[in-house]
Amino acid sequence: MASTADGGHEDPLVSFHFKLEVSGKVDGFFTEVSGLGSETEIAEHKVVTEGHEVVMKIPGRLKWENIVLKRGITSSMDIWTWRKEVEDGNVESARANGSIYMFDQMLNPVAEWSFERAWPVKVTGPSLKSDGNEIGVEELTLAHEYIVRIS
């Protein structure tokens, strides 16, 4: 748990909603975000020393999770237009850097993640039911090559 200057403890940040900004591609608010992280693969190396077999675990390749964002569907076509670039074979022109901002209930930014060379792997529209009254949700999945928490 984080400590403050006065020796007390800092409360965890409360997430209220999220904003995605991707330079020239998407700028909008989302209600759910996942995949803000990285992982180092483990390479196992077997070593025999003095009659003992030991499995050494060595850091392997670094990889990043796909970022998944969800929001209520609107009239905005931005994520669909961006995905169309990939469908048309223009992955390199679709790649873009961006940021995700987390806001509290007072709409103050409380955290920021920055990512590089992202492109839309998948876009999913809402499930449509004529007898339901749920808000339609669309989902955007991004592959990227680097992510870092800035604040």
What local confidence, expressed as pLDDT, does residue 143 receive?
Answer: 97
Q: In this model, does residue 28 exceed pLDDT 80?
A: yes
Q: Is residue 141 pLDDT above 70, yes or no?
A: yes
pLDDT tens, residue by residue, 45-68: 999 888 889 999 999 999 999 999
- The pTM score is 0.82
- SS3 of 37-75: the string is CEEEEEEEEEEEECCEEEEEEEEEEEEECCEEEEEECCC
pLDDT of residue 1: 47
3-class SS at 150?
Answer: coil
Q: Residue 4 pLDDT > 80, yes or no?
A: no
